[in-house]
């Protein structure tokens, strides 16, 4: 009797400790596969964004070859996998997706897995019921589920579909993109029932990735060094429609569907001349965008993070991952955020700005038309930059409250007119605030001064005091000979104020051991 009770107790403990396994299905063509060819993610990026806990099963396949050698035979850690292009393993959105889910802990009550079966090309007919891609995806799921450790996982749930396809669509596959995609979800919901809970698929929970344009050329900003994707390119049009248009409209029409933009991200620069494939760093960002959308659809708080919606002005809810204006939350730019300038149209209020790890070194917030009505109102949350990151505010700025600007050594916060603004009109700086500029310590120990640059700034009803802490340098540029009223400027020991010929109000500069250069 004692042995029986012990056995039953152990069984009960095993059942109680078993977790649900949430499986995300990833499929599509070459950008889902991750044909990064000559521009894979660097070893440093792979280490920085390496997923640790997400389970991974991959059975990628080719149009002619079938499933590539090296496909999963047991659950693995997320990593670049077969096939190889120019000696490099492929890596699609799965890497950034898994890392972002883990970092935010959105599904910590379950174990998370990715089953990936992506094809190296082909239109969406291959994902129809009897198509090669559909059959390969279903078979991959069967194989993966057969390898699930039942002692660790009490239930399998298919949490949603991640779909990145469309560049090769031609003929009827273009106008029928939406109907074929919904058909795919319905077929998966029915055919995968023997292997797990398909209720999310039946409810059409999925994230649609924006298909790339052809012959897209990257754009380089000579001032900041930012490299972004070129929005000009070619889309296949049939019956007056493109896959891009049809799928974007579908995602907007159904609350169960998410949308992960991609076209603002840079493409390959080596090993591929088609102008359609994303490089390794872009793939990590695409995966992060998929993760934020998957979390939002699952009812998780995606936070006040600048979304990948590069066309959405900053004052639009679509500009933020949780589809809400930040309100009293600090607006965050990170790996998933758009790398294009964020547009200010009208008045945009942000409690603060935090720049973490966007895929460009300089975040730009820019006036749409340079008019006096465009204004960024920056509240007590102030500014915080990660090491190696910069911020350009190319719009009128209104400051409010007591705030700190935390800037690492070698980084810069710059206020300057927008490129579209008439050169005769400076950027207006207004508000009532106390701004303490400090050189952020810690991290990698970046050297150099923390810099603030005010270029062609016109104080307008500004009641402000500035505290420049040690190792902070403020420079006034493009205002030689002008009389300015920036308010009180306290230059502390080790700080530098460069006037460059500008004339501040008498008595407004209080030098406490710093350096003031006229």
Q: Long-range contacts for 442-445 (Cβ within 8 Å, ≥24 apart)?
A: 443/386, 443/387, 443/408, 444/387
Are residues 121 and 45 located together in one domain of the fold?
A: yes
Q: Give pLDDT tens digits for 117-131.
A: 999 999 999 999 999
Q: Give pLDDT tens digits for 206-222.
A: 999 999 999 999 999 99
Predicted confidence at residue 35, as pLDDT, reads 87
Percent share of the chain, pLDDT over 90 = 89
Are residues 285 and 391 located together in one domain of the fold?
A: no
Predicted confidence at residue 193, as pLDDT, reads 98
480 near 503, Cβ under 8 Å?
Answer: no
Q: Note whether residue 5 is domain-resident.
A: no
Cβ neighbours for 322, distance < 8 A, ≥ 6 positions apart: 296, 301, 302, 303, 304, 305
CB atoms within 10 A of CB 4: 8
Identify the three-state secondary structure at position 481: coil
Q: Note whether residue 311 is domain-resident.
A: no
Are residues 85 and 56 located together in one domain of the fold?
A: yes
Residue 2 has pLDDT above 90, yes or no: no
208 near 259, Cβ under 8 Å?
Answer: yes
Are residues 360 and 394 located together in one domain of the fold?
A: yes
Q: Note whether residue 302 is domain-resident.
A: no
Whole-angstrom distance, CA of residue 216 vs CA of residue 494: 47
Whether the model pTM is above 0.85 = yes
Whole-angstrom distance, CA of residue 329 vs CA of residue 334: 15
Predicted confidence at residue 87, as pLDDT, reads 86
Predicted confidence at residue 370, as pLDDT, reads 61
Residue 439 has pLDDT above 70, yes or no: yes
Are residues 177 and 279 located together in one domain of the fold?
A: yes
Predicted confidence at residue 7, as pLDDT, reads 42
Are residues 44 and 87 located together in one domain of the fold?
A: yes
Q: Which domain holds residue 482?
A: 317-517
Are residues 292 and 356 located together in one domain of the fold?
A: no
Q: Where are the beta strands (DSSP E) in 182-299?
A: 206-209, 219-220, 227-228, 237-238, 241-242, 257-260
Q: Give pLDDT tens digits for 382-436.
A: 999 999 999 999 999 999 999 999 999 999 999 999 887 555 578 999 999 999 9
Report residue 86's pLDDT band, with 50, 70 and 90 as the boundaries: confident
Are residues 225 and 351 located together in one domain of the fold?
A: no
* Structural domain count, the chain: 2
Identify the three-state secondary structure at position 281: helix
Whole-angstrom distance, CA of residue 106 vs CA of residue 292: 10
What stretch of H or E contains 252?
Answer: helix 243-253
Among 193, 230, 203, 197, residue whose Cα is nearest residue 214? 230
Q: Note whether residue 80 is domain-resident.
A: yes
Domain end marker among 267, 297, 327 = 297
Whole-angstrom distance, CA of residue 423 vs CA of residue 386: 31
Report residue 4's pLDDT band, with 50, 70 and 90 as the boundaries: very low
Q: Note whether residue 306 is domain-resident.
A: no
Q: Give pLDDT tens digits for 155-178.
A: 999 999 999 999 999 999 999 999
Q: Give pLDDT tens digits for 268-323.
A: 988 888 999 999 999 999 999 999 999 999 999 999 999 999 999 999 999 999 99
Whole-angstrom distance, CA of residue 266 vs CA of residue 275: 10
Are residues 290 and 411 located together in one domain of the fold?
A: no
Are residues 361 and 243 located together in one domain of the fold?
A: no
Q: Give pLDDT tens digits for 222-273.
A: 999 999 999 999 999 999 999 999 999 999 999 999 999 999 999 998 888 8
CATH number of the domain where residue 69 is located: 3.40.50.1110
Q: Note whether residue 84 is domain-resident.
A: yes
Tokens of 36: 């990064």
Report residue 369's pLDDT band, with 50, 70 and 90 as the boundaries: confident
Predicted confidence at residue 446, as pLDDT, reads 61
Q: Give pLDDT tens digits for 7-19.
A: 444 344 444 468 9
Domain end marker among 297, 331, 346 = 297
Q: Note whether residue 406 is domain-resident.
A: yes
For the ranges 93-107, 348-362, 445-459, which has the lowest average pLDDT? 445-459
Predicted confidence at residue 8, as pLDDT, reads 41
390 near 411, Cβ under 8 Å?
Answer: yes
Percent share of the chain, pLDDT over 70 = 95
Among 510, 514, 502, residue whose Cα is nearest residue 476? 502
Q: Note whether residue 71 is domain-resident.
A: yes
Which residue, chain included where needed, has tokens 């998370």? 112
Domain end marker among 248, 264, 297 = 297
Are residues 474 and 386 located together in one domain of the fold?
A: yes
Predicted confidence at residue 421, as pLDDT, reads 58
For the segment 463-479, the average pLDDT, to the nearest whole number, is: 97
CA separation, residue 135 to residues 121, 167, 206 (Å): 15, 21, 19
Among 440, 488, 444, 478, residue whose Cα is nearest residue 458? 478
261 near 244, Cβ under 8 Å?
Answer: no
Are residues 285 and 325 located together in one domain of the fold?
A: no
Whole-angstrom distance, CA of residue 151 vs CA of residue 120: 36
CA separation, residue 404 to residues 3, 92, 351, 356, 399 (Å): 65, 39, 12, 16, 11
Q: What is the mean pLDDT of the chain?
A: 94
């Amino acid at each position: 009797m004692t042995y029986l009770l012990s056995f039953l107790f152990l069984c009960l403990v095993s059942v109680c400790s078993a977790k649900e396994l949430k499986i995300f299905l990833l499929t599509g063509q070459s950008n889902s596969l991750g044909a990064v060819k000559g521009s894979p993610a660097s070893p440093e990026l792979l280490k920085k964004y390496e997923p640790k806990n997400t389970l991974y099963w991959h059975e990628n396949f080719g149009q002619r070859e079938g499933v590539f050698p090296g496909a999963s035979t047991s659950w693995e850690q997320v990593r670049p996998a077969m096939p190889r292009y120019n000696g490099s393993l492929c890596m699609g959105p799965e890497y950034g997706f898994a890392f972002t889910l883990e970092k935010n802990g959105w599904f910590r009550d379950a174990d998370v897995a990715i089953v990936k079966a992506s094809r190296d090309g082909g239109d969406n007919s291959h994902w129809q019921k009897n198509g090669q891609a559909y059959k390969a995806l279903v078979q991959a799921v069967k194989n993966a589920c057969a390898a699930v450790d039942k002692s660790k996982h009490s239930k399998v749930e298919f949490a949603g579909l991640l779909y990145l396809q469309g560049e090769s669509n031609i003929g009827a596959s273009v106008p029928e993109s939406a109907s074929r995609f919904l058909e795919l979800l319905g077929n998966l919901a029915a055919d995968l029932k023997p292997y797990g809970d398909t209720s999310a698929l039946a409810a059409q929970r999925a994230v649609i990735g924006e298909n790339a344009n052809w012959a897209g050329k990257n754009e380089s900003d000579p001032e900041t060094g930012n490299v972004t994707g070129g929005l000009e390119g070619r889309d296949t049009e049939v019956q007056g429609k493109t896959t891009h248009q049809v799928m974007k409209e579908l995602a907007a029409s159904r609350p169960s569907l998410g949308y992960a933009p991609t076209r603002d991200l840079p493409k390959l620069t080596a090993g591929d001349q088609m102008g359609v494939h994303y490089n390794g760093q872009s793939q990590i960002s695409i995966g992060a965008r998929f993760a934020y959308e998957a979390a939002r659809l699952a009812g998780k708080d995606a936070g006040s993070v600048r979304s990948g919606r590069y066309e959405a002005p900053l004052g639009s809810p679509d500009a933020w991952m949780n589809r809400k204006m930040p309100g009293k939350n600090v607006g965050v730019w990170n790996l998933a955020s758009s790398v294009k300038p964020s547009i200010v149209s009208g008045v945009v209020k942000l409690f603060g700005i935090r720049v973490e790890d966007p895929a460009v070194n300089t975040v730009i917030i820019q006036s749409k038309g340079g008019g006096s009505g465009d204004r960024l109102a920056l509240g007590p949350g102030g500014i915080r930059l990660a090491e190696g990151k910069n911020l350009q505010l190319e719009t009128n700025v209104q400051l409010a409250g007591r705030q700190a600007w935390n800037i690492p050594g070698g980084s810069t916060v710059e206020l300057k007119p927008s490129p579209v603004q008439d050169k005769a009109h400076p950027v207006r700086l207004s508000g009532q605030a106390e701004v303490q500029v400090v050189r952020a310590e810690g991290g990698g120990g970046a050297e150099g001064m923390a810099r603030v640059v005010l270029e062609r700034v016109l104080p307008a009803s500004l009641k402000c005091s500035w505290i420049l802490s040690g190792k902070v340098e403020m420079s006034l540029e493009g205002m030689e000979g002008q009389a300015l009223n920036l308010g009180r400027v306290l230059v502390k020991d080790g700080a530098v104020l460069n006037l460059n010929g500008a004339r501040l109000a008498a008595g407004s500069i209080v030098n406490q051991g710093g350096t003031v250069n006229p």
